[in-house]
Amino acid sequence: MVFWRGRRRKKLLQTPLDDAMRAELHRAAPLCASVPGNLRARHEGTTRVLLAGKHFEGAGGLELTDAMKLAIAGQAALLQLREGADYYPDLDTILVYPDAFVVPNVEVDPGGHVVHEGPDERAGESWQRGVVVISWQDARRESRRRDGYNVILHEFAHQLDDQSGEADGTPLLPHDLTGRWAESFQAAFERHQRDLRRGRHVLYDENAAESPTEFFATTIELFFEYPGDMKREFADVYAVVAAYLEIDPATWSG
């Protein structure tokens, strides 16, 4: 079974998107169009692996289309381009709601994002493990433009974080990155909190100052949305995330 799955995955990884899918993805999520040529095949194959391997479900009356699934998988795939990517092994289901306001029992943050079940709320909500919840209204808007927000990247970043067994802002890391990661993230988190208190112009938003896990998820959004600013203003964090994900979006076109 594992062998079969391995072979199927390998085949999917080697299968590019067809032209119509590629055009649709680039239209819905221009960020995916900026993936450089040497990563394009891997990105498209990874998108296929996620489309085939995860259960996508419309909720709250949403009729889920292939285009929606593609936009979600294509952006989630951006976080899985490294050698030895594991494709969110703990994630089974992606639940998509029409908008942030009809979602029962799910918190909505000030930006209108559906907030995942965080570490504090998880007690008694273990059924939430393995589920990403996305508000399509927000996802659609944020995928189309670069404004520093991307709920898809944010929620899938939380999946990476949770994989270490603890939502603490640290995903499973190769051994040689752990020290650098802890140092650079802690320094940046503290600096962000300080800057906010002093009312300085900041790259990160207020939600990022809440906890290391929110800071990490926001870092992933900014890493893709404003890579140039990240690299300039938070060079150490940018470098360690680039080393972890094995990509450098500051060099991507667009």
CA–CA gap between residue 222 and residue 150 (Å, rounded)? 9
Q: Verify binding: residue 157, Zn ion, rule CB under 5 A.
A: no
**To the nearest whole angstrom, how small is the minimum distance from the Cβ of residue 115 to Zn ion?**
6
Of the pair 96, 217, the CB lying nearest Zn ion is at: 217
d(CA 108, CA 98): 14
Least distance CB 156 / Zn ion (angstroms)? 11
- Nearest one of 133, 155, 165, 117 to 56, comparing CA atoms: 133
Radius of gyration of the chain (CA): 17
If one asks whether residue 217 binds Zn ion (CB under 5 A), the answer comes out as: yes
Residue type, 42: R
188 binds Zn ion, rule: CB under 5 A: no
Length of the chain: 254
Give the shortest CB-157-to-Zn ion separation in angstroms.
8
Q: Does 222 bind Zn ion (CB under 5 A)?
A: no
Residue 209: alpha-carbon gap to chain centroid: 18
User: How many Å separate Cα 9 from the centre of its chain?
Assistant: 21
* Least distance between Zn ion and beta carbon 70 (Å): 23
**Residue 95 engages Zn ion in binding (rule: CB under 5 A):** no
Cβ nearer to Zn ion, comparing 121 with 248: 121
Taking the least distance from each CB to Zn ion, the nearer of 18 and 166 is 166
For Zn ion, which is the closer residue by CB, 51 or 96? 96
Minimum distance of Zn ion from residue 16's CB (angstroms): 32
Closer to Zn ion by CB, 71 or 157: give it.
157
Residue 123, exposed/middle/buried by CB under 10 A (0-12, 13-18, 19+)? exposed
| Most distant CA pair in the chain, distance | 57
3-state secondary structure of 194: helix
Residue 137 or 213: which CB sits closer to Zn ion?
213
Question: How many residues form the binding site for Zn ion (CB under 5 A)?
Answer: 1
Report the alpha-carbon distance of residue 11 to residue 49 in Å, rounded.
Answer: 9
Q: Does 114 bind Zn ion (CB under 5 A)?
A: no
Residues that bind Zn ion (CB under 5 A): 217
